[in-house]
Amino acid sequence: MSGPVGALESAVRAAVAAVDDPEYPGVSIIDLGLLEQIEVSGERVEVGLIPTFSGCPALTMIADEVRASVGAVDGVEEVEVTWLAGPVWSVERVSGRACDRLAADFTVAVHLGPPPACPLCGGLTSELSAFGPSRCRSVHRCTSCGEVVEALRG
């Protein structure tokens, strides 16, 4: 990207990236795959996000934080944040960097294909319950070290 529009779009993207998931401080919502589109038109910016699940209770908080963060970018006068009807979020959208942080900071595995590996020892986990503490997480136990592991699921 080049020119003023490209530069502004990069700055907006960085501002969105500065917003962390409320449940996982330190993990950017971009790394979790929530950002779908940025449209810059003059000084007006539209940010299109997708939720992990319809029932995510953090949607308003995330949208407010994106609005504030992008609104503070030089050259942005107006920000519209929209939760898009599609595409459907899936764990494939989670970046490798986010997978690493989730494992290191929260003992959370990303459930790309069963069974997820234990974030502590790398051992195999077995599912204790598909129905974890929030809609996007299931509960597993490591068959090697015994750690109880939450998995971010699609």
57: contact with another protein by CB under 8 A: yes
Query: Which C-beta is closer to another protein: that of 1 or that of 85?
Result: 85
Tell me if the bond preceding 4 is cis, omega within 30° of 0: no
84: contact with another protein by CB under 8 A: yes
SS3 21: strand
129: contact with another protein by CB under 8 A: yes
Q: What letter would DSSP give residue 132?
A: -
Q: Provide the token pair at 95.
A: 């970046």
Pairing outcome for strands 108-110 and 35-41:
unpaired
135: contact with another protein by CB under 8 A: yes
Q: Rounded distance, CA 17 to CA 15, Å?
A: 5
68: contact with another protein by CB under 8 A: no
105: contact with another protein by CB under 8 A: no
Task: Tell me the site size for another protein, rule CB under 8 A.
Answer: 23
Positions in the binding site for another protein (CB under 8 A)? 51, 53-57, 59-60, 82, 84-89, 129-135, 139
